[in-house]
């Protein structure tokens, strides 16, 4: 009887302690990662590139000299000049302004997609490894199946099958980047799950987990309080590696016209539109291409710096 | 065996060597002005607790530094300073004329190469030997380090060899280029006592053949006593005492040396009553602290005077090449740390109802073989890790389980607490049958059985604060939370000699001894009846080991706990246990009251364990009963005696073919030996050969 009255509070207690206990190790892992990255040159260069892009993402739309969607029809496909620093596109829109406005969405999409994918993959990996047995076999075979699709093909499959956000979400939530976020998450989940599963397997037999078993801890507590903080270092590396793939994936989806819908500026879409003028007005496609690659290079350098300092093995 | 130091130039000389590391965490003064000399043919023992700079000296000689480091002072090899040598000359020196053997054998060998070719490679690289020549030399080297069947050993991969064999291969590799100086950095610390004893035998035999200088680094004076000619004791990066081995043990002249000597549980004679170990309080001088103008040992010293705080003591000559860095060296007595007080024996409790009863406990790893008609058995037979173990643990009693690695000690422990589910047999706690798996056991049963693991660093979650382990146990067992729990936690920490300020620390901020105290505090949180201690001190320095052992006994007295105390070191078990169980290959070889076990007649296996205990006294010639031959496969079902394959006292085919009878010792009826040899005869052989 005692057990029954205690049960709800016990569960609540577990969830509460779990979330409180997670905060400090997570912050520690994060600040540790930052600190380590700043110890190397790659990390410093990478971080400064990321900071530039983040600034663009947050305040770019205010700083932009023109509106991203305004047509300057008398200035179509103009080369960079003092008036339009990076030139204009076929409708005479200022490319710099479009770049600055588009930074927010690509960073938000790729970051949200990465984090969601990480959350899904981590949960799946932890549960699969800890519970083990048939469930483990089952989950991992499904993950293998997902992994056997080429990345972009799987992404297109998910995008075309998922209903548009307007159909299943209230209008204030129905951001048209949401499907891209979900797609990135689903594409990443199996890779993250695999890495986390292999990091969990040795922890499962560790003596502190045995101690927790002797205390009579439940599965949820074991996974999220005892084991999760110990895979944070792996997660931090995983975030930084996944993020650059997410940016590329998001831009590819944009390029194929399945991402943010026009007239909102999307870097991938801008390249796609600009490629028609590559000979006569190369800046239209080049400017967003440079923007994407500098962001990816920044993220990669940063994660490289972190790995160099941490000497952690490279994950795909 | 004592050799007078030569007047000629020493083989290696350290002249005021100081090594400082610059790490992101701060400056570490690992070695502070150390001067040392070693002659050819001499074995120099370098002793001290972890963090005293012993290994750093070895690395400085070998030039293995990765991080930012500053080295001051000079290292001279045969009179020539390292700084005056060309890089090529140094390269030729290190590895060829100066060789090193590491503690961690596994990482010294390439796991993807057979050991023979691995050694051949060394010979062909360094000595430009031909293929045939190298192969012959390898076999010779393997014979030198007493590896049986050297040709076949060479064909194996490192993981196919036992720990002792791996260490022999590494030693052979170090000897390959016929070095003039051999540095051995805790080469036996990771090994079983029995294996350690054979490696020590090997080195004392080799030193007569090889004529090299040997620097032997260890934290255990018991080991050094057996092997060294001269001993240098290190503390906080300084040498505090230096003397020929006999002089040092007969007349230690630095308080630190006396403390180290007291810590070894084997130092009392075997039959003597158990004693409380006198320990050195406190922890090693922090290597991040700069050298001050005081005696660095002063904060922990029992005979410190005010004058110790002013002025660094210089070396005082106590005669006969005996130097001590203590201003009061002449006042140092063996009892300055307090006498090793005899412990009041608990009254005989054989009549009391046992707390824990284990009957016919079996644990097999792996599935039973399938037998397919006309084809025969398929798959491997299961590993029979524990076979039909019977024993009782009385209230307030300590039962020691002793045996080599692979003998099934930990399997017994894990079956008792329920981390493994037994394959057969029953375990009763106070007459109630325990479920095999801990998940099925009631809260009361879980609370009453605690466990302490060997590696305290792994037993605490490295990412969670100390608070977590203790408060969580208090919540799970006595259902305490909030302020009451915090008060109880503080109380628990105090009882293990720490305070509430440690609750907010991470395990990595604590020393090994402190971590083990926390683990004990967490185990005590459930107010247990029985704690299973699985090698609780094997990973600790001797000085810390003594503190933890004393603490365990203190808690036993205060809280009426029983222990199952597991160790591979009979010296430690002897210090702790009322009853001893000797386990070999999953079978109980001998069991009974500790006093009776330690005296003849003993099972021949117990005898080898006894003779392997390191005795910190160079004047005692240890009896040499060693095991040879491989450990038997645990997949077989023994037809005869499980120990017959390696028994030094084997009497004939009866041992191989017939199960040994259960023989009770007439002088102590609960003392049971499983052996074919009549007890009177065993008794007779053992009294004459070991001189017990």
Length of chain B: 692
Distance (Å, rounded) from C-alpha B473 to C-alpha B492? 12
Question: Which of B459, B462, B463 to probe by mutation at the A interface, max A CB count within 10 Å?
Answer: B463
Please give the pLDDT value at position B266: 59
Higher pLDDT, A167 or A311: A167
Which residues of A fall within a CB distance of 8 Å from B455?
207
Residue-by-residue DSSP string for A253-296: HHHTT-SSPTTS--HHHHHHHHGGGTTT-THHHHHHHHHHHHHH
A-B interface: how many C-beta pairs under 8 angstroms? 59
Residue B170 within any structural domain of the chain: no
Distance (Å, rounded) from C-alpha B43 to C-alpha B224? 10
Distance (Å, rounded) from C-alpha B421 to C-alpha B58? 46
The answer to whether residues B565 and B629 belong to one domain is: no
> Looking at A16-20, A94-98, A174-178, A225-229, which range is the least confident one?
A16-20
Nearest Cα of chain A lies from the Cα of B477 at a distance, in angstroms, of: 7
The pLDDT-based confidence of B272 (bands split at 50, 70, 90) is very low
Contact B468 A216 (CB under 8 A): no
Residue B255 within any structural domain of the chain: yes
Q: Where are the beta strands (DSSP E) in B435-508?
A: 449-452
Nearest Cα of chain B lies from the Cα of A19 at a distance, in angstroms, of: 13
The answer to whether residues B367 and B489 belong to one domain is: yes
Residue B351 within any structural domain of the chain: no
The answer to whether residues B58 and B184 belong to one domain is: yes
Residue B103 within any structural domain of the chain: no
Q: Output the six-digit token pair for A89.
A: 């596109």
Q: Which residues contact B691 (CB under 8 A, 6 or more apart)?
A: B623
Nearest Cα of chain B lies from the Cα of A226 at a distance, in angstroms, of: 7
Percent residues over pLDDT 70 in chain A: 89
Residue B36 within any structural domain of the chain: yes
Task: Please determine, for residue B232, whether its predicted confidence score (pLDDT) is greater than 90.
Answer: yes
Query: Which positions in chain B have a beta carbon within 8 angstroms of at least one beta carbon in chain A?
Result: 24, 417-419, 438-439, 443, 446, 449-451, 453, 455, 458-464, 468-469, 472-473, 476-477, 522
Contact A215 B462 (CB under 8 A): no
| Average pLDDT for B208-216 | 85
CA-only gyration radius of chain B, Å:
26
Task: Please determine, for residue B270, whether its predicted confidence score (pLDDT) is greater than 60.
Answer: no
Nearest CA in chain A to B476: A215
How many CB atoms sit inside 10 A of residue B39's CB?
Answer: 18
| Average pLDDT for A3-11 | 45
By the 10 Å C-beta count (0-12 exposed, 13-18 middle, 19+ buried), B355 is classed as: buried
Please give the pLDDT value at position A5: 36
Sheet order of strands, B424-429 included: B383-393, B356-365, B424-429, B432-433
| Average pLDDT for B96-121 | 87
Higher pLDDT, B21 or A186: A186
Residue B38 within any structural domain of the chain: yes
Q: How far is CA A227 from CA A197, A199, A209, A314, in A?
A: 11, 10, 8, 22
Contact B449 A214 (CB under 8 A): yes
Nearest Cα neighbor of B407 from B569, B602, B530, B612 is B569
Task: Please determine, for residue B480, whether its predicted confidence score (pLDDT) is greater than 90.
Answer: no
Please give the pLDDT value at position A266: 84
Distance (Å, rounded) from C-alpha B269 to C-alpha B575? 11
**pLDDT, tens digit, for every residue of B536-593?**
888 788 778 888 888 898 888 888 899 999 988 888 888 888 899 999 988 999 999 9
Contact A214 B458 (CB under 8 A): no
**pLDDT, tens digit, for every residue of B426-461?**
999 998 999 999 889 998 899 999 999 888 888 899
Average pLDDT in chain B:
84
Nearest Cα of chain A lies from the Cα of B461 at a distance, in angstroms, of: 5
Q: Give the ranges where A64-177 is alpha helix by DSSP (H).
A: 95-131, 133-147, 151-161, 165-168
Nearest CA in chain A to B446: A214
Length of chain A: 316
Residue B336 within any structural domain of the chain: no
By the 10 Å C-beta count (0-12 exposed, 13-18 middle, 19+ buried), B536 is classed as: buried
Please give the pLDDT value at position A257: 84
The answer to whether residues B617 and B518 belong to one domain is: no
Superfamily of domain A22-64+81-287: MetI-like (1.10.3720.10)
The answer to whether residues B317 and B401 belong to one domain is: no
Nearest CA in chain A to B420: A210
Look at residue A217 and give its three-state secondary structure: coil
The answer to whether residues B618 and B567 belong to one domain is: no
Task: Please determine, for residue B661, whether its predicted confidence score (pLDDT) is greater than 80.
Answer: yes
The pLDDT-based confidence of A88 (bands split at 50, 70, 90) is confident
Nearest Cα of chain B lies from the Cα of A75 at a distance, in angstroms, of: 57
The answer to whether residues B367 and B292 belong to one domain is: no
Contact B453 A232 (CB under 8 A): no
| Average pLDDT for B198-226 | 84
| Average pLDDT for B509-535 | 89
Q: Output the six-digit token pair for B497.
A: 């000699």
| Average pLDDT for A279-307 | 88
Contact A215 B477 (CB under 8 A): yes
The answer to whether residues B480 and B627 belong to one domain is: no
| Average pLDDT for B621-639 | 76
Query: Across the interface, which of A214, A226, A232 has its CB nearest the CB of B451?
Result: A214
Q: Which residues contact A152 (CB under 8 A, 6 or more apart)?
A: A249, A252
Which residues of A fall within a CB distance of 8 Å from B473?
215
Please give the pLDDT value at position A3: 38
Query: Across the interface, which of B419, B438, B461 has its CB nearest the CB of A208?
Result: B461
Residue B226 within any structural domain of the chain: yes
The answer to whether residues B294 and B417 belong to one domain is: no
Nearest CA in chain B to A26: B463
The answer to whether residues B227 and B89 belong to one domain is: yes
Q: Output the six-digit token pair for A294.
A: 């500098």
Q: How far is CA B692 from CA B270, B291, B577, in A?
A: 8, 48, 20
Contact A213 B438 (CB under 8 A): yes
**CB B239, CB B35: distance < 8 Å:** yes
Total number of domains constituting chain B: 3
Percent residues over pLDDT 70 in chain B: 93
| Average pLDDT for B81-109 | 85
| Average pLDDT for A100-128 | 92
Q: Domain residues for B320?
A: 12-97+177-331
The answer to whether residues B557 and B497 belong to one domain is: yes
Please give the pLDDT value at position B587: 92
Task: Please determine, for residue B535, whether its predicted confidence score (pLDDT) is greater than 70.
Answer: yes
Which residues of B fall within a CB distance of 8 Å from A216?
438-439, 443, 446, 476
Contact A216 B476 (CB under 8 A): yes
This prediction has a pTM of 0.80
């Amino acid at each position: 009887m005692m057990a029954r009255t205690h049960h709800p509070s016990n569960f609540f207690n577990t969830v509460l302690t779990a979330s409180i206990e997670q905060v400090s190790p997570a912050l520690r892992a994060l600040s540790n990662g930052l600190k380590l990255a700043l110890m190397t040159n790659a990390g410093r260069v990478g971080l400064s590139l990321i900071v530039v892009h983040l600034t663009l993402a947050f305040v770019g739309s205010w700083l932009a000299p023109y509106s991203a969607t305004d047509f300057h029809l008398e200035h179509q496909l103009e080369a960079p000049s003092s008036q339009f620093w990076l030139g204009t596109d076929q409708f005479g829109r200022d490319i710099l302004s479009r770049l600055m406005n588009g930074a927010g969405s690509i960073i938000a999409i790729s970051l949200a997609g990465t984090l969601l994918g990480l959350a899904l993959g981590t949960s799946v990996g932890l549960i699969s490894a800890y519970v083990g047995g048939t469930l483990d076999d089952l989950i991992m075979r499904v993950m293998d199946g997902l992994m056997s699709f080429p990345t972009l093909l799987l992404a297109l499959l998910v995008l075309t099958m998922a209903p548009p956000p307007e159909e299943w979400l209230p209008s204030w939530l129905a951001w048209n980047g949401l499907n891209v976020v979900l797609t990135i998450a689903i594409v990443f989940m199996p890779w993250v799950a695999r890495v986390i599963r292999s990091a969990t397997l040795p922890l499962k037999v560790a003596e502190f987990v045995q101690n927790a078993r002797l205390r009579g801890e439940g599965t949820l507590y074991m996974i999220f309080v005892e084991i999760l903080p110990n895979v944070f270092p792996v997660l931090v590396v995983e975030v930084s590696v996944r993020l650059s793939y997410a940016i590329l994936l998001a831009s590819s989806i944009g390029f194929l016209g399945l991402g943010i819908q026009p007239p909102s500026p999307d870097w991938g879409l801008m390249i796609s539109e600009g490629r028609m003028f590559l000979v006569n007005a190369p800046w239209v496609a080049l400017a967003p291409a440079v923007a994407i690659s500098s962001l990816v290079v920044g993220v990669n350098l940063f994660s490289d710096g972190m790995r160099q300092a941490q000497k952690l093995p490279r994950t795909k | 065996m004592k050799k007078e130091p030569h007047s000629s130039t020493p083989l290696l000389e350290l002249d005021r060597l100081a090594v400082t590391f610059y790490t992101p965490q701060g400056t570490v003064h690992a070695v502070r002005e150390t001067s040392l000399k070693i002659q050819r043919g001499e074995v120099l023992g370098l002793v001290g607790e972890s963090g005293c700079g012993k290994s750093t000296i070895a690395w400085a000689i070998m030039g293995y530094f990765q991080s930012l480091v500053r080295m001051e002072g000079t290292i001279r090899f045969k009179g020539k300073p390292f700084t005056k040598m060309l890089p090529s000359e140094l390269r030729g020196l290190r590895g060829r004329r100066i060789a090193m053997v590491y503690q961690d054998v596994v990482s010294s060998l390439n796991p993807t190469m057979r050991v023979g070719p691995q050694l051949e490679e060394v010979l062909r690289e360094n000595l430009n030997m031909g293929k045939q020549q190298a192969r012959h030399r390898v076999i010779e080297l393997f014979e030198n380090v007493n590896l049986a069947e050297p040709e076949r050993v060479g064909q194996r991969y490192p993981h196919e060899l036992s720990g002792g064999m791996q260490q022999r291969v590494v030693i052979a590799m170090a000897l390959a280029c016929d070095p003039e100086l051999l540095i051995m950095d805790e080469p036996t610390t990771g090994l079983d006592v029995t294996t350690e004893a054979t490696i020590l035998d090997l080195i004392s035999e080799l030193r007569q053949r090889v004529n090299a200088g040997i620097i032997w680094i260890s934290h255990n004076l018991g080991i050094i006593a057996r092997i060294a000619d001269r001993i240098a004791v290190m503390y906080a990066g300084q040498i505090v005492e230096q003397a020929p081995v006999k002089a040092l043990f007969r007349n230690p002249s630095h308080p630190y040396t006396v403390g180290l000597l007291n810590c070894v549980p084997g130092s009392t004679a075997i039959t003597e009553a158990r004693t409380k170990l006198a320990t050195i309080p406190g922890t090693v001088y922090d290597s991040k602290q700069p050298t001050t103008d005081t005696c660095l040992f002063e904060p922990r010293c029992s005979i410190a005077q005010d004058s110790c705080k002013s002025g660094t003591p210089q070396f005082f000559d106590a005669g006969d090449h005996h130097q001590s860095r203590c201003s009061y060296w002449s006042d140092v007595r063996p009892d300055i740390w307090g006498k090793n007080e005899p412990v009041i024996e608990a009254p005989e409790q054989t009549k009391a109802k046992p707390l824990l009863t284990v009957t016919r406990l079996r644990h097999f790893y792996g599935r039973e073989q399938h037998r397919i008609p006309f084809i025969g058995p398929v798959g491997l037979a299961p590993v029979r890790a524990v076979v039909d173990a019977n024993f009782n643990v009385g209230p307030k009693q300590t039962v020691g389980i002793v045996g080599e690695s692979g003998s099934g000690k930990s399997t017994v422990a894990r079956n008792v607490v329920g981390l493994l589910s037994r394959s057969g047999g029953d375990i009763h706690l106070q007459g109630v049958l325990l479920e095999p798996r801990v998940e099925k056991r009631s809260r009361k049963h879980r609370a009453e059985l605690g466990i302490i693991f060997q590696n305290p660093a792994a037993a605490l979650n490295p990412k969670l604060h100390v608070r977590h382990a203790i408060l969580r146990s208090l919540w799970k067992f006595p259902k305490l939370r909030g302020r009451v729990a915090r008060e109880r936690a503080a109380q628990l920490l105090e009882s293990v000699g720490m305070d509430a300020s440690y609750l907010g620390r991470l395990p990595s901020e604590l020393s090994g001894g402190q971590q083990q105290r926390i683990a004990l505090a967490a185990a005590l949180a459930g107010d247990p009846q029985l704690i299973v201690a699985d090698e609780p001190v094997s990973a600790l320095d001797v000085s810390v080991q003594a503190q933890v052992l004393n603490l365990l006994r203190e808690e036993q007295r205060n809280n009426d706990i029983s222990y199952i105390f597991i160790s591979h070191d009979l010296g430690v078990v002897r210090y702790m246990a009322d009853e001893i169980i000797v386990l070999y290959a999953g079978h109980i070889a001998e069991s009974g009251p500790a006093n009776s076990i330690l005296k003849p007649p003993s099972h021949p296996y117990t005898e080898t364990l006894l003779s392997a205990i390191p005795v910190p006294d160079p004047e005692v010639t240890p009896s040499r009963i060693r095991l040879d031959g491989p450990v038997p496969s645990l997949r077989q079902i023994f037809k005869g005696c499980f120990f017959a394959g390696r028994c030094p006292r084997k009497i004939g085919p009866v041992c191989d073919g017939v199960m040994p009878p259960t023989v009770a010792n007439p002088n102590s009826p609960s003392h049971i030996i499983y052996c074919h040899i009549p007890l009177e005869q065993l008794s007779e052989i053992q009294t004459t050969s070991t001189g017990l």
